[in-house]
Amino acid sequence: MTTTGLPRRVTAGFAAGSLGTGGFGVLPGLVLAYYLTDTLAVGALPAAVIVVIPKIVDVLVNPLIGARNDAAFATTGSRTRLMWIGTATIVPMFVLTFAAPTQAPPVVGALWVLVFFTAAAVAYACFQVPYIALPTDLTPDYHARTRLISARIAVLALAILLIGAGAPAVRDALGGGATGYVVMAAVSVAVIAGGMTVSTAVAGAAGRRAPNTATTTTAPDGRDAFRAARDHRHYRILLSVFVIQALASAVMLAGAQYLATYVLDDSGALTPLFVALVAPALLVMPLWVRVGRRFGKLRALFAASALFLLADVILVVAIAAPGAWVFGVLAITGVGYAGMQTFPLAMLPDVIDEYSAVTGREQGGAMSGLWTAGETLGMAIGPGLYLLVLAATGFVSSSADVDAEQPRSAIVGITAGFSVLPAILVALSMVFLTRYDRR
């Protein structure tokens, strides 16, 4: 099972899980804030709180899920039980998130979204935490893990393109509003759950090992991941970099709909914006694999981050001169984004092996649990930060059937939040990255 040459069926099965992680990762970040402010008439500031709270819950729950997963893996040799639970429960919770009563007062809609999105996030974590740990189980080979993750990121890009561009198109085809959002959620979660099902059935089964009957001094618990972050330098730095970059990506995702509607003056421009951002990842993934093999994963990650940063800085010009050129610059951003997604995830199994060797027992679930908790927190704080920028620059919220006129300050905030803020965050992540190999 843990050979350097994985069967294509296993690689494809593992990659299929990114239909789930990509779909759930992108769609709430892309449309949830906009749904709250422009369909349920929730103010920008309370909407920021609503999108963050479920992910704070994840930060508390994910390490516990990881520890439970490690305990199950030690006794049964399998990680699939929680993956199946998450796959089954995410479907109704996700649909209900976008089925809030639009005729009720905004506070009712806000609480509705809070409850069901929190439940959907926990269901997603039950799948994602074991899923992230699977490469450690599937192969011990350094470069094989990069190839495995590159296949996953290619499918991730496809999922982001399919759901990120297609879901809003479904919503808009039905006239937006309550019906549009519910149908959009139902279609999207069918794709999400389908990918999760294939991955659990194929890759989860392939990652099965003989149960570990050896006696260990301590049993897995929810504090294992925090001990790893405290004690293992590589894990702490890599986790910090990944979370900060997830935050930067989430800010851009949250701002895309606002940029299309209020800066490019075309709400339908969201789909080509997404194509420009994500499609390059499908083309350059083999190139990033070669770059990683030649220069190492660390240098390749730094190069990808620098490219993403450069493109974000250029996007600042859209404040004064919005136009079609934005799509070309976003394509450069997409090339950097592909590398930023690939290399941290390819480095994580190596770091897990390092720390597991030190502790003498499997730590993949716990460390993946904190990793996904950090990622989901970043993906939630991103929209929250973006909404705070909107609130500070005078953005005017509206209901589904009203187009609000935005002041010039809000237009500046929409554009700067989409470009300047992600650039600052990626620059900060690169500072952390320079310390990765220092002793």
pLDDT tens for residues 356-368? 777 776 677 778 8
Burial status of residue 424 (CB atoms within 10 A of its CB: 0-12, 13-18, 19 or more) = middle
Distance from C-alpha of 276 to C-alpha of 330, rounded to nearest angstrom: 6
8-state DSSP, 399? B
* Both tokens assigned to 352: 């897990």
DSSP letter at 318?
G
Look at residues 192, 427, 237 and name the one whose alpha carbon lies nearest to residue 344. 237
Count other Cβ atoms within 10 Å, centred on residue 291. Answer: 20
Q: What does the alpha-carbon distance between residue 231 and residue 208 come to, in Å, rounded to a whole number?
A: 28
Q: Provide the residue-wise pLDDT of the chain in tens; the chain has 439 residues.
A: 443 467 888 888 889 999 999 899 888 877 898 899 888 988 888 888 888 888 788 888 888 888 888 787 777 777 888 999 999 999 999 999 999 998 889 999 999 999 999 999 999 999 988 898 888 778 777 777 778 888 888 888 888 888 877 888 899 888 878 899 999 999 999 999 999 999 998 876 776 654 554 434 455 555 777 788 788 889 999 999 999 999 999 899 888 888 888 888 887 788 888 788 878 877 888 888 889 889 999 999 999 999 999 999 999 898 888 888 999 999 999 999 989 988 998 888 888 888 877 777 667 777 888 888 888 778 778 888 898 899 898 887 765 556 677 888 888 999 999 999 999 999 999 999 998 875 4
pLDDT tens digits, residue range 128-160? 888 988 887 787 777 777 788 888 888 888 888
Give CA–CA dist 77/436, Å, rounded.
32
Pairwise CA distance, residues 79 & 212, whole Å: 13
Q: What are phi and psi of 336, to 5 degrees?
A: -65, -40
- 278: Cβ contacts below 8 Å, ≥ 6 apart: 157, 160, 161, 164, 165, 334, 337
**Token representation of residue 364:** 């993949």
CA atoms within 13 A on the CB side of 207: 29
**Ordered domains of the chain (ranges, CATH):** 8-209+220-433 (1.20.1250.20)
Scanning 100-232, the segments in alpha helix (DSSP H) are 106-138, 142-173, 177-206, 224-231
> Which DSSP category does 139 fall into?
-
The rounded distance, in Å, linking the Cα atoms of 333 and 320 is 20
Helix (H, G, I), strand (E, B) or coil at 398: coil
Tokens of 37: 């402010």
- What is the residue type of 101? P
CA 61 to chain centre: 17
Rounded to two decimals, what is the model's pTM? Answer: 0.74
399 vs 326: CA distance, rounded Å: 28
Beta bridge partners of 40: 399
Q: How far is CA 342 from CA 13, 284, 335, 351, in A?
A: 17, 11, 11, 15
In order of 189, 193, 335, 405, the CA distances from 137 in angstroms are 27, 23, 29, 54
